[in-house]
């Protein structure tokens, strides 16, 4: 099982992703680490990325997910995946049902407060508005409001994942 935690900057993808990967005994990757230096510089200067900037990045991430599947590894990817077309690129050519998108949602004020506390991150907090403007809320993802302690959020996700795995293996809960 591969879980892609998606959402705007500051929604908690990395924090939740690391904890979720530990719980799932899975590998973890932060999509931020796959951005080109040019993309990082653009965001640091307050300029939002466009689709052309994102395409090679999304292609690299799709290859990563493919490698995980080929190696039989479970994984958690923290990735904004703000548009449906981005999510399609991430899941392209992967087996049906192998990727679960989890949308970490939250109030703009809560997320802005988190961004204000961040240190040493290239993402300019001024880009939050553009992130919300770009976001296409998914209809095919688990929506989790990340306004609680990380353990509670991870518990909600792991319960859902466990249920999905049981369905896939024909196991019924008693």
In a domain, 164, yes or no: yes
More confident residue, 28 or 1: 28
In a domain, 174, yes or no: no
> How much is the average pLDDT of 135-146?
94
Structural tokens at position 37 = 């230096």
Q: Is 104 exposed, middle or buried (0-12, 13-18, 19+ CB in 10 A)?
A: buried
Q: Helix (H, G, I), strand (E, B), or coil: what is residue 3?
A: strand
CATH number at 57 reads: 3.40.50.300
| Closest listed residue to residue 90, CA positions, set 131, 29, 36 | 29
Q: Please tell me the total count of domains within the chain.
A: 1
Which residue range forms the structural domain that includes residue 45?
2-168
pLDDT of residue 154: 98
In a domain, 144, yes or no: yes
In a domain, 23, yes or no: yes
> How much is the average pLDDT of 134-149?
94
pLDDT of residue 163: 85
pLDDT band at 174 (very low <50, low <70, confident <90, very high): very low
CB 125, CB 164: distance < 8 Å: no
In a domain, 88, yes or no: yes
pTM over 0.75: yes
pLDDT band at 165 (very low <50, low <70, confident <90, very high): confident
In a domain, 21, yes or no: yes
pLDDT digits (tens, 9 = 90+) for 10-61: 899 999 999 999 999 999 999 999 999 999 888 888 888 899 999 999 999 9
In a domain, 173, yes or no: no
pLDDT digits (tens, 9 = 90+) for 82-132: 999 999 999 999 999 899 999 999 998 888 888 777 665 555 556 778 889
In a domain, 44, yes or no: yes
């Amino acid at each position: 099982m591969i879980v892609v935690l998606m959402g705007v900057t500051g929604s908690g993808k990395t924090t939740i992703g690391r904890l979720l990967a530990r719980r799932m005994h899975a590998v973890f990757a932060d999509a931020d680490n796959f951005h080109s230096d040019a993309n990082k510089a653009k965001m640091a200067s307050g300029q939002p990325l466009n689709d052309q900037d994102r395409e090679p990045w999304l292609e690299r991430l799709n290859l990563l997910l493919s490698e995980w599947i080929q190696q039989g590894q479970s994984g958690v990817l923290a990735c904004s995946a703000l548009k449906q077309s981005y999510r399609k690129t991430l899941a392209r050519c992967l087996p049906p049902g192998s990727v679960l998108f989890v949308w970490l949602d939250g109030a703009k004020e809560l997320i802005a407060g988190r961004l204000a506390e961040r240190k040493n991150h290239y993402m300019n907090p001024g880009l939050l508005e553009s992130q919300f403007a770009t976001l296409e809320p998914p209809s095919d993802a688990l929506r989790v409001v990340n306004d609680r302690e990380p353990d509670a959020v991870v518990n909600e996700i792991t319960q859902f994942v466990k249920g999905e795995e049981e369905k896939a293996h024909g196991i019924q809960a008693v």
